[in-house]
Amino acid sequence: MKRLADLTFDNSFSRLPAGMHARVRPTPLQGAHLASLSPAAAALLELSPDSLREQEAVAALSGSQLLPGMDPIAMCYAGHQFGHYVPQLGDGRALVLGEVLTAGGARWELQLKGGGLTPFSRDGDGRAVLRSTIREYLCSEAMHGLGIPTTRALCLFGSDEEVYRERIERGALLVRMAPSHVRFGSFEVFYHRQQYRELQQLADYVIDHDFPDLRDCERPYLALLREVVGRTARLMAQWQLAGFAHGVMNTDNMSILGLTLDYGPFGFIDAYDPGFVCNHSDHRGRYAFDQQPSVGLWNLTCLAQALLPLLDADDADASVEQARDALADYEPAFAAAYVSGMRAKLGLREAHPDDPALAASLLDLMAVSGVDYTNLFRDLAALCLDEAASATPLRDRFIDRPAFDAWADDYRARLRAEGSGDATRAAVMRSVNPRYVLRNYLAQQAIERAEQGDYSEVDCLLDLLSRPFEEQPERQGYAAEPPDWGRRLEVSCSS
Ligand code: AMP
Ligand code: MG
């Protein structure tokens, strides 16, 4: 296990031409103190977690001192925000410190989120507040615990610095990491400016850096698009299966690696409602839970458009044809991933054409009664094949109990037909249906304590959510449905 100063840094993105990024030094965060760290993320860097508490590491990761080998930049990108193209965004408050090259051969780009002004900050202050930083920190690690691709979070710093939002808050800083933070919007900016040379340089960079196997394909840029289509489709299926709503699926928040990126006003569904909107500013429900799969495709269409000049440099019609073909794979890829994930959630081993209908009718019943999404699937593992239909306590969660009984009859018949055994099925179901998710009210409780200087609840949630499938009897309360005050917490975009 190493210390931060022993790590080897590279800066591959900063070697790309100026204009694709801006060199910028972090602005030290006043009175920065390490609030929490993720031992699992530290292990990915081959770092000893305790070494992050050392003065040198705190100084480097909170922006007051660069280590040899770091060459910080802010990335340039654009994006479609709520359906409208915004020509230049860029990281207004995220800085790439450099990439850690591990002995195991991995590359992890380290980013400071909240590291101060950059040339892309526009009217912003380059800072992040404690509450949004805690939410991103916990949710990154929680999503990883659920097996969902995501950027990771190494540690979070609190500070004495005052930051002005709707009220005065404390500045904070998140150190996040991913093999790459390139977004769909990173391509869109050069396409819309007709800077096709930069567009190609970026595509070549992404292929060489993240998808080296595609280099030998006959059409590497088309292969790249196909790869991103597949990854995005699978990611959307995983979000839907977990009951996760991202909240701001602008194309600048879509990762080219198919990672969950940029946690803002996200939410896990408590009482099941397919039209759940977690973003307080999303008045029309553009990013409602049940819209996410189609928004994924809409966003991929923006990416495909941006790649058109590279697909067939001589024949625009041929480029469009290739892009259409690649995008046509999205819906089947999403459906396949979603149905197989639902089958796993229901403990079904064999594929059957009626499976989508079986899952959909359960979800319909849950929506009518507002049944807790996470707990219903978790507790469904306890259903037995031999009990009388009316015996399962699960039926009491539904307003229309006979309708649930009828569904459960069909479900039992389906399980019997594949020779399902109660004990084996329950164990498998408990390995895919979490007991614990980062419910908004849990995050809120941790934030309120942290704002008083007590980070113990942040640490507790981090640990709990790193093992979401394991019953943790001493923490059973964390599986509870939200109390009244926490039922419809509105999360603002301001962060
Ligand atoms: P987000 O909603 O966090 O994905 O941010 C959208 C865009 O606004 C990104 O380009 C951010 O870098 C930028 N941004 C958000 N908050 C700030 C801030 N406080 N200061 C500067 N730029 C910001
Ligand atoms: Mg963003």
| Active site members | 252
- Closest by CA position to 204, among listed 444, 6, 15: 15
> What pLDDT sits at residue 494?
84
- Give CA–CA dist 34/161, Å, rounded: 14
Which pLDDT belongs to residue 362?
98
Q: Which atom of ligand 1 is nearest to the CA of 495?
A: 16
Structure tokens at 84: 């409208």
For 183-233, write each residue's pLDDT tens digit. Answer: 999 999 999 999 999 999 999 999 999 999 999 999 999 999 999 999 999
How many alpha carbons lie under 13 Å from residue 261 in its C-beta half-sphere?
23
CB contact at 8 A, 490 and 445: no
Angstrom distance (rounded) from CA 168 to CA 131? 12
Please indicate whether residue 89, judged by its CB atom, sits closer than 6 Å to ligand 1. Answer: yes
So what's the pLDDT on residue 492?
A: 80
* Residue 92 Cβ < 6 Å to ligand 1: yes
Pocket test for ligand 1, best of 29, 77, 93, 164 (most atoms within 8 A of CB): 93
- Closest-CA residue to 14 (of 225, 181, 224, 215): 181
Q: Is the CB of 91 under 6 A from ligand 1?
A: yes
Task: Tell me, in angstroms, the distance from the centre of ligand 1 to residue 92's CA.
Answer: 5
* Torsion angle of the four alpha carbons 113, 115, 117, 118, in this order, in degrees rounded to the nearest 10: -70
Ligand 1 neighbourhood includes 113 CB (under 6 angstroms):
no
CB 385 within 8 A of CB 416: yes
* DSSP 3-state of 179: coil
133, 156 Cβ separation under 8 angstroms: yes
Alpha helices (H) along 95-129: none
Confidence at residue 28, expressed as pLDDT on a 0 to 100 scale: 96
Alpha helices in 243-329, H assignment, sequence order: 292-311, 316-328
Helices 292-311 and 220-242: angle between axes, nearest 10 degrees: 170
pLDDT tens, 328-387?
Answer: 999 999 999 999 999 999 999 999 999 999 999 999 999 999 999 999 999 999 999 998
